[in-house]
Amino acid sequence: MAAGILVLAALGLFAAVLTPVYVRSFRFHRFVSNLTHNVETRDRPGFALLGMVLAKARSLSLPVTASNVQIIRTGAEVRIVVRYVVKVDLPGYTVELHF
């Protein structure tokens, strides 16, 4: 019984610590996706898009740098690829979440 409670407590701790990171990452990726689908923003120069992406990441406390962002233009389409790692410290263990 005590072991079951301990396991549930550990799962609750993991959920409490990891869920906010996943929520912020989801919001960030939704923002980036909207940039590429919005006619007004996708026609902006690469440096402007990069600035918008970095500002949003900073506002969500995500460790995204300019080297993590790739802006790819093919004809009239724009694709933005962002790869970054969030380190989460748990008691006795550090988790690296790759996005």
Q: Tell me if 84 sits within 8 A of 68, measured CB to CB.
A: yes
Integer Cα distance of 21 and 83 in angstroms: 15
pTM of the entire predicted model: 0.85
Domain borders along the chain are 2-98
pLDDT value of position 16: 82
| Nearest Cα to Cα of residue 82 among 59, 49, 53, 47 | 53
pLDDT value of position 11: 76
Q: Tell me if 69 sits within 8 A of 55, measured CB to CB.
A: no
Q: pLDDT: is 41 or 71 the higher one?
A: 71
Q: Tell me if 66 sits within 8 A of 46, measured CB to CB.
A: no
| pLDDT tens digits, one per residue of 5-27 | 878 877 787 888 899 999 999 99
